Amino acid sequence: MVDFPEPGERPGWFVVLPDCASAARAGAVLRNRGVQEVSHPSGRPWLLGGWSPGAMTVGEAGQVKIAVLGEHAMTADRLTTAADRIRTIAGLDELTRTMAGSSHLVASVTGRVRVQGSVSGLRRVFYARIGDATVAADRADVLAALLDAEVDEQRLAARLLNPGAPHPLAGVPVWRGVGALESGHYLALDADGRGRPVAWWTPPAPTVPMAEGASAFRAALTAAVEVRVRGRDVVSCDLGGLDSTSVCALAARGRAKVIAYTADGLDPLCDDVPWARRTVAQLDDVEHHIVAGDRLPMVYEGLQDVDDRFDEPCPAAMHPSRCLLIPRLAAARGSQLHLTGFGGDELLAGSPAHLHTLMRTHPRTAWQRVRGFAAQGPWRYRETLRQLWDDGAYRQWLGRVGDRLTAVPPPFETPALDWGTPPRLPPWTTPDAVDAVRELIRTTARTTEPLSERRGLHVELEAMGSNSRMVRQVGQMTARAGLTLAAPYYDDRVIEAGLAVRPQDRITPWQYKPLIVEAMRGIVPAGSLTRHTKDEGSYEAEVGMREQRAELLALCEDSRLARLGLIDANTLREMASRPLPPTLPFDALYQTVVCEMWLRTLDTAATAAVPG
């Protein structure tokens, strides 16, 4: 079980109640916590929780009330004008399709409620049945506290999969009785307290040529950065790869003072610093700080100090001190908002799996691209052809995943033209846990649908969902340091502009991220747009495992995962005490470590909640 976050605890949180008498039970529990409250037009409790001043903007007209929480440009007057035109919750589609930034939108319309997050999953919506009413929230653990819910061991076991649980399991909350909206849906609550997901968003048709698409993408990303920078005196930015460089250059065009940070990695091949220096030399008035590699905490460093309360296992818990070093430096310099390039890889580098569809629509172009990617891989010839010609449904692929959970991971040379990378369970997973995950996957495979019938788009949307959930959690960590973490590439309008570009223009083996290169001409210094390298972090992970081995081994003592019967602590201890075998990826430990750390923070929170 889990207790509520304190109302004043950062980051903020909120709960949405339907406009009916049956929601009174949940409202009474929350009111007893001393939370903030916004009422329905009827006067019943609507939004309850704890949020910082200025985080919520509300407009009201008659029996319609609209609230927006997050990073946006909406004012109370604009929301009031919109509320005056709205007659049904479906009528909000037009408003949501024009909003720049990243936010939750909640509306109460003549007794019915709409609760909506973001397409990427950065702004999530969870729901649960509390008594006779469906209640929504932006944090799963808040609903778990209302339910007095326990952790679902089977769902948690699926989080041990590496490189991650497949769709839709990756986004399913690990709390019993708590659900989550899938991408592109909002939650509709009727006047009787019943809730149902409603699809409102579909990806745009990928038909826009590069010249037109680059202009639209430039406009969308410019607006996304402007929403965050407008009215501020100081903002900070990451300045590393091409994605964060573009965001930094856009921020530098505004009136706010820009403080940029570049981490100098320990990897001798990391070239972020020289590229960042070239960029700053040609931008106006950007204060640039380089964080030396020996100042950066290692991966796995500080595991024993993790006390952040996440609503699911958090990948950032592997290296909390590392994640927070630059945000803390930025906050000390007066920044209250930090811009990052998170999300750029999924959208701009994209997935070669688009070639599977392209082979059926533009075979000559597809063959050219296949040869280029295959040479770079290098991809195995027979497996490349098998994946290209395979027309199996996602359900079939997911079923095969369940059959091969303990097989040797696919080799590095495996082509990336399938529905995804088949995940594996680590060798320290118990047989009972393997059986539980296999059963869960097979059951899910009977009814699930892919995020898109086009493999490439499915892979990209799944990656956005997975990575944005991690960024959401990092944002919770930085909020405690007094800083808002902003990721413009995860904005709905930016995603739409990127996905609208033809895949054969956006994804090519012969040019690195061509869409951002074309979009940022005249904004990012020309020399910086020629970069085609990226630091991928494996060096720090391997060094961290070696130098922080004692902290890793300490997790094997009285392991919470072992208590639940999900891992064999002795096997984990034995394998973590030496270099991992070549058949086991260096990040195979990641999922296990974050699940173990998450369970331990639950123990700590539960102990702190007990009087005395």
Q: Which pLDDT value is given to residue 608? A: 46
Q: What value does the mean pLDDT take over residues 104-116?
A: 97
pLDDT in tens, 137-191: 999 999 999 999 999 999 999 999 999 999 999 999 999 999 999 999 999 999 9
pLDDT in tens, 374-391: 999 899 999 999 999 999
The domains found in the chain, sorted by start residue, are: 13-199 (3.60.20.10), 210-347+479-538 (3.40.50.620), 351-458 (no CATH), 549-609 (no CATH)
Q: Which pLDDT value is given to residue 610? A: 35
Confidence of residue 308 (pLDDT cuts 50, 70, 90): confident
Q: Which pLDDT value is given to residue 510? A: 93
**356: which residues sit within 8 A by CB, 6+ positions away?**
387, 388, 417, 454, 455, 456
Give percent of the chain with pLDDT exceeding 90: 79
Q: Which pLDDT value is given to residue 584? A: 84
Confidence of residue 537 (pLDDT cuts 50, 70, 90): low
Higher pLDDT, 433 or 32: 433
Least confident stretch, 9-18, 72-81, 252-261, 569-578: 9-18
CA separation for the pair 162, 144 (Å, rounded): 26
- Residue 306: is its pLDDT beyond 90? no
CA separation for the pair 230, 224 (Å, rounded): 10
pLDDT in tens, 39-57: 999 999 999 999 988 899 9
Q: Output the CA torsion sign for 424, 427, 428, 430.
A: positive
Confidence of residue 547 (pLDDT cuts 50, 70, 90): confident
Q: What value does the mean pLDDT take over residues 132-137?
A: 97
- Residue 409: is its pLDDT beyond 70? yes
Query: What does pLDDT average to over the chain?
Result: 92
- Residue 266: is its pLDDT beyond 60? yes
- Residue 282: is its pLDDT beyond 70? yes
Q: Would you say 459 and 164 are in contact if contact means Cβ atoms under 8 Å apart?
A: no
Q: Which pLDDT value is given to residue 319? A: 77
Residue 163's alpha-carbon distances to 377, 466, 551, 590, in angstroms, are: 19, 10, 22, 9
Confidence of residue 7 (pLDDT cuts 50, 70, 90): low
**552: which residues sit within 8 A by CB, 6+ positions away?**
300, 303, 545, 576, 589, 593
Q: Which pLDDT value is given to residue 612? A: 30
Higher pLDDT, 296 or 506: 506
- Residue 213: is its pLDDT beyond 60? yes
CA nearest to 230, candidates 396, 74, 457, 52: 74
Range list of β-strands (E), 559-599: none
Q: What is the dihedral of CA 356, 359, 360, 365, to 10 degrees?
A: 140
